[in-house]
Structure 1
Amino acid sequence: MHRIGDVFPGDGQDVPDEEWIAHGLDRSWVPLSKDGRIKTRDLGIRPVLEREAVLFHLDNQQLRSIEMVERLVARRDAIHRAVEKGGPAAYAVRHDRIEHTWP
């Protein structure tokens, strides 16, 4: 797992979405966003579209860190299947499943 703060200063707060997403995809990382609106922003989703990649987003930005981790661990197999299926695609990581949300 790679954290945005390990690559970009200030936890990436001043880095455009398209930049951090492209950075990760160029390294074969699978991006995870806390903000599901990312898939509706043309610039933000462009790297996913261009690279026919997969992006995941949490369906609740208010989760505590431990809850985020628990969700990802609980949905690990479904996440792996979605990555293997390929993209371009975006999926919400919900408490009980992952859900295809884009395109």
Structure 2
Amino acid sequence: MSPPEQPRKFFVDRSLGRVAVPGLLRAAGRDLITLAEHYGVPEDEGVADACWIEESARRGWAVLMKDKRIRYRQAEIDAVVEHQARCFVITRGDLTSAEYAERLIANQVAVFAASDTPGPFIDAVHTDRLERLRPRR
């Protein structure tokens, strides 16, 4: 089965790395830009989460990230809500780069469908499904 049509570009946060995960996602046909590519190195290390969330939402980029505590970080939640961001987060911190990429690829149909809907939202990406973390349904 061929992958679904890709609706838009994805923004990859520094939490998923600059090389391995983005490379695997690109090899699977995803169109994305990393935080480091967008802001440059080493400037990317100093960009506040609320700033890149705002920028990605303004540009229409859905966000891919890894952050087990995102549901508790009020500044990031506020930025997602205020800027109508669409975020997909892996809440596990103990996976390999290949496992992070595989989780996103395995859920690509659900991610693409959700990324076509208006924000704001933060969806957790599990091995076999998405789970809405914010706003609660």
**Which bin holds the TM-score, normalised by the shorter protein?**
0.7 to 0.9
| Larger CA Rg, structure 1 vs 2 | 2
Q: Which residue in 2 is equivalent to 1:5?
A: 36
Structure 1 unaligned residues grouped into runs of 5+: none
User: What residue number does 2:81 align with?
Assistant: 49
CA RMSD of aligned residues (A): 1.8
> In structure 2, what is the equivalent of residue 68 of structure 1?
100
- Deviations, residues 35-77 of structure 1 (Å, cap 9, x unaligned): 1322322221223212323111102122211111111111011
Farther-moved stretch of structure 1 (24-33 vs 45-54): 45-54
Q: Kindly, what percent of the aligned residue pairs are identical? A: 33
Give me the whole-angstrom Cα distance separating, in 2, the residues matched to 1:24 and 1:36: 20
Cα deviation for residue 11 of structure 1 reads: 7.6
Work out the CA distance in 2 between the residues paired with 1:89 and 1:54. 5
State TM-score, norm by structure 1.
Answer: 0.85
Kept in 2, the 8 Å contact 1:35–1:61? The answer is: yes
Aligned in 2, Cα 1:55/1:42: closer, same or farther, shift over 3 Å? same
CA–CA distance in 2 between the matches of 1:74 and 1:16?
A: 30
TM-score between both structures, scaled by the size of structure 2 = 0.67
